[in-house]
Amino acid sequence: MPQTEIEAPSASLPQNAYQPLKPGETYTPIVHPGMHPLEITLRSVLWGVLFCVVFTVASAYSTLKVGQGMEAAIPISILAIGLARMYARRSTLLENVIIIGMGGASAAVVAGAVFTLPALYMLHLSPHPIETVFICLAGGCMGVLFLIPLRRYFVREMHGVFPFPEATAITEVLVTGEKGGSQARLLLQATTIAALYDFFVTTFHVWREYLNLQFIPLMRGLADRGRMVFSFDAIGFILGLGYVMGLRSAMVFCAGGILSNFMLVPLIWFIGSHLNAAVYPGATPVANMTAAEIYANYVRFIGVGAITAAGILGVLKSLRIIAGSFSIALHAFRPSHAVQPERTDRDVPVIASLLGVLLSALAIAIFFGRFHVSWAVLGWGLFLTLLFAFFFASVAANAIATTANNPASGMTMLTVIITSVVLLRFGLSGTTGMFFVMAIAGMVCTALCVSGQFITDLKAGYWIGSTPAAQEKVKFIGVLAAAAAAGLTIVMLAHTFQFGEAAPGDLRPVLAAPQASIMKALVVGFLSRQPVTYLLFGIGAVMTIVMEMLGRSAMVFALGMYLPLSLTTPILTGGLLSHFIHKRAEANGGEPGRRIRERGVILASGLMAGGALGGVFGAGLRLIPGFRENLIQTPFYNYDPISQPVSAVLFASLCLYVWFVAQKRTAPGRGSEE
């Protein structure tokens, strides 16, 4: 039936939207199944692609630098609602669902890409840009294809059983979208400010990005005599990330950094300073090492062990979900007796899905064949890729539907470990083996991240009344745009940054890329003959177990242990800012308090998006021949007693901007409009 512009949706969700249905009861969405409003239009597709590319670039930079990506769905939903007012024909609710679904592919594809692709550069394997894009694209397509047969079970049959936290938030934003115009303006304002701020601080010598307070005699003395070094990365997007994380998570995150830098590094220095010989894996005596060298040679391996153990424990805690996913996967193959499903229960044809899986398998087989491996390795590699992608698609969807947390790290680690062990039996090793295994892990990780995010889109669409087939079709466009943007962004960043840790003689700045560093450590341990620091890994694993016994978030704490303190301290600042703004919101109460909380989250999202985009744009300038950071340089830049306080004042000004704008009063009766 052709689409029409007629749409008269309800003002709010039905009462049974979040409740299990009684026998004989049915759910009727906001947009009735008998209605056929505009859904896939040139407008919705173009905006969806644009948002997808922009947020993919921003999220890739953010995740590589801090290890935490940015969720794009909520900011995109705000922007979509705001954009709807720009046209003479206001966009339909279902057009906005299409925009959000396509744009949401950005965070999912990036999450899969950053776990593995940077590791290829750390291993000096120099992947071709087409290879990076293909790994993302193949994994993303499998994530969509393998979720389609599971859609009806998760979304329709289990209505009211799974809470779907993120889908609930997206749906509520769309339903209450009358305030979207001013929210979009506020988001764009914060994005612009953060983009300019982070662009100048990370690209040119205008003011210091990193504060270490070494110009203060006390701080210098602690560094020299105790190897205790404070550091702070004063940029906007990390402040926004800390705000979104909240005080509790930010404190756990920073606690890991404090343990590493103010306990483990000084402890190793205290013990090792009395030894004249080098202690493996260090190449020089500890007595001759700086705090940064002690961290790089010893403490970061403890962090690797902590993150690995946290991922494995996450899998163990999800065994019930994983076991249930077996029956869910089998459920997808049960025959359906519906002859002509209604519009809101219509998927793409089964034959099209099967054809897509076959084409994906053929393309992956051709890709693997380029490695000149044996037929046994190629066959097992293809089998493991398809098996893990299909199985983990249901695991990810189940996890997102219940807790909104995707166990991507644990699933990817299992993929690397099992694939390495299996293929090692067929003689696969060395650099070819590392590339082969990381490619499989990249596809599987992208598939499970995309499937977890896509089930959120489908559930939000079900509550509102979208056509599943329409969402499924445009999701492939979003995956294609995100794969191209993510792959090429990582290639660009690999030319201007170092991933993981600084190499001797390489003056390029460093992006921590913590997830990829873990995958690199795993694959090197299995497929090379290099010695492995099992003792340091074990110490980190024990710390994770202790955190779990205390009932705390082990993965967040472990990431804090691995990442530089300069990244965890500004996250704590953002968490504190979030805490105090929420306290002010509670003091105001009612509608004013709710508006303060909303505006705070919007401002933080803008800081994350704008700051990341500013950093990526600066990285792009470094590719231009003749570019120099001192093209713009202030007279005081190299004089720390002035440049560092100036940076601190400007960062404090950014905090004050969020503080005061979040509490800005609005006109009565105008919601959140300016």
Contact 634, 555 (CB under 8 A): no
Predicted confidence at residue 5, as pLDDT, reads 45
List pLDDT tens digits, range 605-648.
788 878 877 877 777 777 777 778 788 888 998 898 999 999 99
Q: DSSP 3-state assignment of 208?
A: coil
Predicted confidence at residue 672, as pLDDT, reads 41
Predicted confidence at residue 431, as pLDDT, reads 81
List pLDDT tens digits, range 304-321.
788 778 777 766 766 665
Residues whose CB is less than 8 angstroms from the CB of residue 326 and which lie 6 or more positions away in sequence, other chains included: none
Q: Which H, E and C letters describe 253-322, residue by residue? A: HHHHHHHHHHHHHHHHHHHHCCCCCCCCCCCCCHHHCCHHHHHHHHHHHHHHHHHHHHHHHHHHHCHHHH
The mean pLDDT of 65-78, rounded to a whole number, is: 71
pLDDT at 501 over 80: no
Most confident by average pLDDT, 129-143, 243-257, 273-287, 505-519: 129-143
Residue 354 placed within a domain: yes
Which letter does DSSP use for residue 156 in this model?
A: I
Among 4-8, 115-119, 140-144, where is mean pLDDT lowest?
A: 4-8
- Within 10 angstroms of residue 650's Cβ, the number of other Cβ atoms is 17
Residue 199 placed within a domain: no
How does residue 31 score in pLDDT terms, banded at 50, 70 and 90? Answer: confident
Predicted confidence at residue 651, as pLDDT, reads 95
Residues whose CB is less than 8 angstroms from the CB of residue 380 and which lie 6 or more positions away in sequence, other chains included: 422, 423, 426
List pLDDT tens digits, range 126-175.
889 999 999 999 999 999 998 888 888 888 877 877 777 677 767 777 77
The verdict on whether omega for the bond into residue 281 sits within 30 degrees of 0, i.e. cis, is yes
The mean pLDDT of 578-590, rounded to a whole number, is: 91
Which letter does DSSP use for residue 126 in this model?
A: -
Residues whose CB is less than 8 angstroms from the CB of residue 161 and which lie 6 or more positions away in sequence, other chains included: 20
Contact 115, 474 (CB under 8 A): no
Residue 94 placed within a domain: yes
Residue 173 placed within a domain: yes
List pLDDT tens digits, range 523-538.
877 776 566 677 888 8
60's enclosing H/E stretch is helix 42-66
Report d(CA 167, CA 15) in Å as an integer: 17
Residue 194 placed within a domain: no
Burial 370-394 (b: 16+ CB within 10 A, else e): eeebeeebbebbbebbbebbbbbbb
Predicted confidence at residue 404, as pLDDT, reads 58
- Predicted TM-score (pTM) of the model is 0.74
Residues whose CB is less than 8 angstroms from the CB of residue 635 and which lie 6 or more positions away in sequence, other chains included: none
List pLDDT tens digits, range 644-673.
999 999 999 999 999 999 998 754 444 444
Determine the number of helices (DSSP H) and then strands (DSSP E) in the chain: 24, 4
> What count of residues does the chain have?
674
Q: Which two tokens stand for residue 117?
A: 């692709």
Residue 505 placed within a domain: no
Report d(CA 333, CA 127) in Å as an integer: 38
The mean pLDDT of 271-282, rounded to a whole number, is: 83
Predicted confidence at residue 528, as pLDDT, reads 67
pLDDT at 432 over 80: yes
The mean pLDDT of 545-555, rounded to a whole number, is: 82
Q: Which H, E and C letters describe 62-118, residue by residue? A: HHHHHCCCCCCHHHHHHHHHHHHCCCCCCCCHHHHHHHHHHHHHHHHHHHHHHHHHH
Phi, psi of 285 (to 5 degrees): -60, 145
Residues whose CB is less than 8 angstroms from the CB of residue 123 and which lie 6 or more positions away in sequence, other chains included: 431, 434, 435, 438, 520, 523, 524
Amino acid at 230: F
* 145 alpha-carbon distance from chain centroid: 21
Alpha helices in 335-429 (DSSP H): 350-369, 375-403, 408-424
The domain of 89 spans 42-179+314-334+347-499
Q: How many domains does the chain have?
A: 1
Predicted confidence at residue 520, as pLDDT, reads 83
How does residue 178 score in pLDDT terms, banded at 50, 70 and 90? Answer: very low
Computed over every residue of the chain, the mean pLDDT equals 82
C-alpha separations of 187 from 100, 102, 310, 535 in Å: 16, 19, 34, 47
Predicted confidence at residue 179, as pLDDT, reads 47
Contact 567, 513 (CB under 8 A): no
- Within 10 angstroms of residue 330's Cβ, the number of other Cβ atoms is 10
Angle 492-497-498 from CA coordinates, rounded to 5°: 120
Residue 100 placed within a domain: yes
Residue 193 placed within a domain: no
Contact 612, 70 (CB under 8 A): yes
Q: Which two tokens stand for residue 532?
A: 């492995």
Predicted confidence at residue 6, as pLDDT, reads 43
457's enclosing H/E stretch is helix 430-464
Angle 285-518-449 from CA coordinates, rounded to 5°: 165
The mean pLDDT of 195-202, rounded to a whole number, is: 89
Predicted confidence at residue 7, as pLDDT, reads 45
Report d(CA 425, CA 447) in Å as an integer: 26
Residues whose CB is less than 8 angstroms from the CB of residue 432 and which lie 6 or more positions away in sequence, other chains included: 371, 372, 373
